[in-house]
Structure 1
Amino acid sequence: MFGFGKKAKKPDGIDILIIKADEAKNRSLYQVAFPSIVANDILSMLQKLEKSKLNTKEVLGEIGGFRIVTHLEALTGFDILDDADIEAQPVQIQDFANMLLRRLEVLDESGGLGDSDDLAFIMGELTMLRDGSFVPQT
């Protein structure tokens, strides 16, 4: 896109999604990190969640209404220059998935979500991400 070159090191790299949650109280910016080798699957699942009717504050809590604003691909490294700022710290995909999944599980158990194919798909994908079965272990 900007002439940064090909993704020659894609299998070895780290991708980061920058996600904005405008109405969040504690944190309005999330940097979600995951291995580049599974980037397409993770990005498509999170884009599906972003566009779904589940992407509300009532369903997802503080991250509800999120937007994916940037996808950084195949990074071989990065430096955190402000250790004191929580938003500067990337969140591992397992932790991000766990946060979303806990919220959905509570609502699902209370019957607050109903049944839908989107919900079943998203919860299944988030479960695999949380448990690490989606992301290859190195």
Structure 2
Amino acid sequence: MFGFGKKAKKPDGIDILIIKADEAKNRNIYQVAFPSIVANDVLSMLQKLEKSKVNKPELLGEIGGFRIITHLEALTSFDVLDDADIEAHPVQIQDFANTLLRRLEALDENGSIGDSDDLAFIMGELTMLRDGSFVPQT
């Protein structure tokens, strides 16, 4: 992929997913940051949500209909060059997970979405991400 070579094995690195939400009003791109050590779990869970039937603006709000467009792996640092642009600032995975989880919990409470093993898995993973129990504490 672009000749950058293999991912450096850096457990203290940061991964960033660039997620595009076409229907969003406040921001079209979310940069979601999380520790590289949990990248496989986070990426697979968000890909499962991306492909699920609940990934619609009418269900997830502004984030609905999102697409993961880029995965930056094992970064040791990054610089935000445009402080005034909200899209330039990465969102921590805990905050992103909290936004998604609040929306899914509200839909679940009013019966707008049916029960499924995938949805239960996603909500469990999002709960752990929100609470910080998913990310190893160092």
For 2:83, the equivalent position in structure 1 comes to 83
For 1:69, the equivalent position in structure 2 comes to 69
In structure 1, give the amino acid aligned to 2:108. Answer: D
TM-score of the superposed pair, with normalisation by structure 1: 0.96
For 2:93, the equivalent position in structure 1 comes to 93
In structure 1, distance between residues paired with 2:117 and 2:49: 12
**Per-residue deviation, 1:111:** 1.2
In structure 2, distance between residues paired with 1:93 and 1:38: 11
2:80 is paired with a residue whose SS is coil
The alignment yields a C-alpha RMSD, in angstroms, of: 0.9
Over residues 95-134 of structure 1, what are the superposed CA-to-partner deviations in whole Å (9 max), with x where a residue is unaligned?
Answer: 0000000001111111111211121111001001001111
In structure 2, distance between residues paired with 1:124 and 1:44: 14
Q: Percent identity?
A: 88
1:31 is paired with a residue whose SS is strand
TM-score of the superposed pair, with normalisation by structure 2: 0.96
**Per-residue deviation, 1:7:** 2.5
Divergent runs of 4+, >6 A = none
In structure 2, distance between residues paired with 1:119 and 1:31: 23
In structure 1, give the amino acid aligned to 2:67. Answer: R
Question: What runs of 5+ residues in structure 1 fail to find an aligned partner?
Answer: none
**Per-residue deviation, 1:137:** 1.5
For 1:26, the equivalent position in structure 2 comes to 26
**Per-residue deviation, 1:25:** 0.6
In structure 2, give the amino acid aligned to 1:94. Answer: Q
In structure 2, distance between residues paired with 1:52 and 1:129: 19
2:11 is paired with a residue whose SS is helix
In structure 2, give the amino acid aligned to 1:99. Answer: T
User: More deviation in 45-54 or 106-115?
Assistant: 106-115
In structure 1, give the amino acid aligned to 2:62. Answer: E
Note if 1:10 corresponds to 2:41: no
Q: Between Structure 1 and Structure 2, how many residues are aligned?
A: 138
Question: What runs of 5+ residues in structure 2 fail to find an aligned partner?
Answer: none
